[in-house]
Amino acid sequence: MPQLKLPNIEDVVAIDIHTHAEEPCGLHGDDGYDDFQARMAEYFKAPHKHPPTVPETAAYYRAKKIAAVIFPVDAERETGFRRYNNYEMLEAASENLDVLIPFVSIDPHKGKLGVREARKLIEEYGVRGFKFHPTMQGFYPNDHMAYSLYEAINDGQTGVGSGMPGGMGMRLKYSNPMYVDDVAADFPDLKIILAHPSFPWQEEALSVATHKPHVYIDLSGWSPKYFPPILVRYINSILQDKMLFGSDWPVITPDRWLADFAKLEIRDEVRPKVLKANARKILGI
């Protein structure tokens, strides 16, 4: 597959910075993933009977005139769920680069093997971003075990597991955004996006994004009607250039997110920054 291309950003009304790549339904009968997805859909009241595939996701976003950053999550070591191979996902996305911006995912526990894969994905495919999920991957972001992977790339509360016995064994402690502060200090040129409003650590996330120049916050995973007042204040003021529209598709659709965002008291000059301009800047489009 040749180097990835970016969409013509003038043709879209917004950039959704946070969407999930899902494999065709029925591939996970033996690892519990299908049951996990069903429970997630129930928890988030998602409208889909089964997770949309990458081509289905592209068709949806194309119809809405929205570009989407899309990624898998490599968490098979911690969860037992089959990994959606990065190369499989890129191949699926390659026919839809008019609306999709593919990111990839590597479990930091893979060590040198993961570093080698990261370098190949960057050098040969032009991948522009990497998805980490500390809760699902079971690591603290500032664990030096992950630093060699960050070096290769550099040349919040999650709803995942909610309502399942023991939270599906996932430990929220890994998602405290303050651990990312160490990473931002040790890799000052690395652009970092904190995913989701960070309950119960909202002020920690705002603190890190305010203090570190290249730390951003995506607003995915929550309906905007649940945003705490302090988050809305920061969107409207000192972090207006660092807030990013994200839905968390497919569990939350952009339609639902955008409808609720429209009801927030957001300044007129700030809305286009959140919906498109800030993402355009961080992606270098």
* Tens-place pLDDT, residues 113-124: 999 999 999 999
For 131-146, what is the mean pLDDT? Answer: 94
| CATH number for 264 | 3.20.20.140
Distance between CA atoms of residues 213 and 185, nearest Å: 10
For 133-143, what is the mean pLDDT? Answer: 93
CB within 8 Å of 74: residues ≥ 6 apart: 83, 84, 86, 105, 106, 107, 110, 137
> Comparing C-alpha atoms, which of 112, 118, 89, 111 is closest to residue 101?
89
Q: For residue 101, what pLDDT is reported?
A: 95
Domain assignment present for residue 51? The answer is yes
Domain assignment present for residue 1? The answer is no
Domain assignment present for residue 3? The answer is no
Which residues span the domain enclosing 14? 9-283
The mean pLDDT of the chain is 86
Domain assignment present for residue 2? The answer is no
Higher pLDDT, 31 or 145: 145
Which pair of structure tokens corresponds to residue 164?
């399942």
Highest mean pLDDT range out of 28-42, 44-58, 230-244? Answer: 230-244
> Comparing C-alpha atoms, which of 225, 228, 222, 230 is closest to residue 264?
225
Q: Looking at the 3D structure of the chain, how many domains does it have?
A: 1
Confidence of residue 264 (pLDDT cuts 50, 70, 90): very high
Q: For residue 24, what pLDDT is reported?
A: 58
In this predicted structure, the answer to whether residue 177 has a pLDDT above a threshold of 90 is no
Domain assignment present for residue 109? The answer is yes
Domain assignment present for residue 32? The answer is yes
Q: For residue 98, what pLDDT is reported?
A: 94
pTM for this structure?
A: 0.85
Distance between CA atoms of residues 104 and 84, nearest Å: 10
Q: For residue 26, what pLDDT is reported?
A: 47
Q: For residue 8, what pLDDT is reported?
A: 82
Q: For residue 124, what pLDDT is reported?
A: 93
For 176-195, what is the mean pLDDT? Answer: 94
Confidence of residue 209 (pLDDT cuts 50, 70, 90): very high
Domain assignment present for residue 68? The answer is yes
Q: For residue 82, what pLDDT is reported?
A: 80
For 61-86, what is the mean pLDDT? Answer: 92
Domain assignment present for residue 185? The answer is yes
Instruction: Write the burial class of residue 45 (CB in 10 Å: 0-12 exposed, 13-18 middle, 19+ buried).
Output: exposed
Q: What percent of the chain has pLDDT over 90?
A: 69
